[in-house]
Amino acid sequence: MGMKRRKIIRLTLSYIVILVVAAIIMYPLLWVIGSSFNPGQSLSGSKMIPENATLAHYKELFDPDQSDYLRWYWNSLKISTLTMVLSVILVSLTAYSFSRYRFIGRKNGLITFLILQMIPNFAALIAIYVLGLLTKLIDTHLGLILVYVGGFIPMNTWLMKGYLDTIPKELDESARIDGAGHLRIFWQIIMPLAKPIIAVVALFTFTGPFADFILASVLLRSKEKYTLAVGLYDLVAKQFGSEFTTFAAGSVLIALPIAILFLSFQKYFVSGLTAGGTKG
Q: Which residues have C-beta within 8 Å of that of residue 188, sequence separation ≥ 6?
A: 175, 180, 276
Domain shared by 202 and 260, yes or no: yes
Domain shared by 89 and 205, yes or no: yes
What local confidence, expressed as pLDDT, does residue 21 receive? Answer: 93
Instruction: Between 107 and 53, name the one with better pLDDT.
Output: 107
Mean pLDDT for the chain? 84
What local confidence, expressed as pLDDT, does residue 234 receive? Answer: 84
What local confidence, expressed as pLDDT, does residue 276 receive? Answer: 42
Domain shared by 47 and 70, yes or no: no
State the CATH number of the domain containing residue 90: 1.10.3720.10
Q: Residue 166 falls within a domain, yes or no? A: yes
What local confidence, expressed as pLDDT, does residue 88 receive? Answer: 95
Other C-beta atoms closer than 10 Å to the C-beta of 256 total: 10
Q: How confident is the model at residue 275 (pLDDT cuts 50, 70, 90)?
A: very low
> How far is residue 82 CA from its own chain's centroid?
12
- What is residue 200's DSSP assignment? H
Contact between residue 279 and residue 196 where contact means Cβ atoms under 8 Å apart: no
Q: How confident is the model at residue 277 (pLDDT cuts 50, 70, 90)?
A: very low
What local confidence, expressed as pLDDT, does residue 207 receive? Answer: 93
Domain shared by 226 and 114, yes or no: yes
Burial of 44 (0-12, 13-18, 19+ CB in 10 A): exposed
What local confidence, expressed as pLDDT, does residue 180 receive? Answer: 81
Domain shared by 159 and 88, yes or no: yes
CA–CA separation, 152 vs 160, rounded Å? 12
What local confidence, expressed as pLDDT, does residue 58 receive? Answer: 86
Q: Residue 114 falls within a domain, yes or no? A: yes
Domain count within the chain: 2
Q: Residue 185 falls within a domain, yes or no? A: yes
Choosing from 10, 38, 58, the residue where a domain stops is: 58
Domain shared by 111 and 128, yes or no: yes
Choosing from 58, 73, 102, the residue where a domain stops is: 58
Q: Residue 164 falls within a domain, yes or no? A: yes
How much of the chain exceeds pLDDT 70, in percent?
Answer: 90
DSSP secondary structure of 186-251:
IIIIIHHHTHHHHHHHHHHHHHHHHH--HHHHHH--SGGG--HHHHHHHHHHSTT---HHHHHHHH
Q: How confident is the model at residue 96 (pLDDT cuts 50, 70, 90)?
A: very high
Contact between residue 11 and residue 18 where contact means Cβ atoms under 8 Å apart: no
Q: What is the domain extent for residue 104?
A: 65-269
What local confidence, expressed as pLDDT, does residue 274 receive? Answer: 45
pLDDT at 270 over 80: no
Q: Residue 279 falls within a domain, yes or no? A: no
Other C-beta atoms closer than 10 Å to the C-beta of 224 total: 10
| Mean pLDDT, residues 64-86 taken together | 92
Q: Residue 277 falls within a domain, yes or no? A: no
Domain shared by 27 and 154, yes or no: no
Q: Which of 8-22, 80-94, 222-236 has the highest mean pLDDT?
A: 80-94
CA–CA separation, 101 vs 11, rounded Å? 48
What local confidence, expressed as pLDDT, does residue 262 receive? Answer: 87
Q: Residue 280 falls within a domain, yes or no? A: no
Domain shared by 50 and 122, yes or no: no
Domain shared by 74 and 147, yes or no: yes
Q: Residue 276 falls within a domain, yes or no? A: no
What local confidence, expressed as pLDDT, does residue 62 receive? Answer: 86
What local confidence, expressed as pLDDT, does residue 1 receive? Answer: 53
Domain shared by 256 and 192, yes or no: yes
CA–CA separation, 179 vs 175, rounded Å? 6
Q: In this predicted model, what pLDDT tens digit does every residue of 111-150 receive, in sequence order?
A: 888 888 787 767 788 888 998 999 999 999 999 999 999 8
Domain shared by 50 and 74, yes or no: no
Q: Which of 1-15, 69-83, 152-166 has the highest mean pLDDT?
A: 69-83
Lowest mean pLDDT among 57-61, 97-101, 133-137: 57-61
Domain shared by 253 and 128, yes or no: yes
Choosing from 38, 58, 78, the residue where a domain stops is: 58
| Mean pLDDT, residues 180-190 taken together | 85
